[in-house]
Amino acid sequence: MEFLPIFFDIKGQPCCVIGGGDVAARKVAMLLHSGGKVTVVAPQLCATLKGDADKGIITYVQETFSPEHLNQAVIAIAATNDRAVNKRVSEVAKAHHIPVNVVDDPEFCSFIMPSVIDRSPVIVAVSTGGASPVLARLLRARLETLVPASYGRLASLAEKFRGKVKQHFSESGQRRIFWEKVFQGPIAEMIFAGQEEQAKGALEKAITESADTPPQGEVYLVGGGPGNPDLLTFRALRLMQQADVIVYDNLVTPQVLELTRRDADRIFVGKQRANHAMRQEEINELLVKLAKEGKRVLRLKGGDPFIFGRGGEEIETLSANQVPFQVVPGITAASGVASYAGIPLTHRDYAQACVFVTGHLKDGTMDLDWDMLARPNQTVVIYMGLLGLPVLCQQLITHGLTPSTPAAIVQQGTTPSQRVVTGTLESLPRLATDARLKPPTLIIVGKVVSLQSKLAWFKPDQGSEGNFALTRNN
246 near 266, Cβ under 8 Å? Answer: yes
226 annotated ligand binder: yes
230 annotated ligand binder: no
Phi first, then psi: give them for residue 232, nearest 5 degrees.
Answer: -70, 150
22 annotated ligand binder: yes
Q: Is residue 67 classed as helix, strand or coil in its secondary structure?
A: helix
Burial pattern 307-321, b for ≥16 Cβ within 10 A else e, equals: bbbebeebbebbeee
291 annotated ligand binder: no
Q: Is residue 369 classed as helix, strand or coil in its secondary structure?
A: coil
211 annotated ligand binder: no
Report d(CA 395, CA 374) in Å as an integer.
9
User: What number of CA atoms fall less than 13 Å from residue 100's CA on the CB side?
Assistant: 23
Which one-letter amino acid corresponds to residue 239?
L
Phi first, then psi: give them for residue 25, nearest 5 degrees.
Answer: -60, -40
Which DSSP string corresponds to 259-276? Answer: TS-TTSEEEE--EETTEE
Q: Would you state the torsion angle of the CA atoms of residues 230, 235, 238, 242, taken in this order, to the nearest 10 degrees?
A: -130
Tallying the residues shown for the chain, one arrives at: 474
44 annotated ligand binder: yes
Catalytic residue among 181, 200, 271, 289: 271
365 annotated ligand binder: no
Give CA separation, 216 vs 24, 170, 178, 313, in Å.
54, 16, 12, 22
Catalytic residue among 27, 244, 249, 301: 249
Count Cβ atoms within 10 A of the Cβ of residue 140 and give its class: 0-12 exposed, 13-18 middle, 19 or more buried.
Answer: middle
Residue 221: which residues within 8 A CB-CB, separation 6 or more?
299, 301, 305, 311, 314, 315, 325, 326, 327, 328
Angle of helix 172-183 relative to helix 150-168, nearest 10 degrees?
A: 150
372 annotated ligand binder: no
304 annotated ligand binder: yes
Give CA separation, 208 vs 135, 163, 165, 190, 204, in Å.
46, 14, 9, 19, 7
- In the residue annotation, 249 being an active-site residue is answered as yes
Q: Is residue 330 classed as helix, strand or coil in its secondary structure?
A: coil
Which one-letter amino acid corresponds to residue 329?
P
Annotated binding site for S-adenosyl-L-methionine: 226, 302-304, 307, 332-333, 384, 413
Query: What is the set of active-site residues?
Result: 249, 271
Please state the residue numbers annotated as binding site for NAD(+): 22-23, 43-44
Query: Binding site, residues?
Result: 22-23, 43-44, 226, 302-304, 307, 332-333, 384, 413
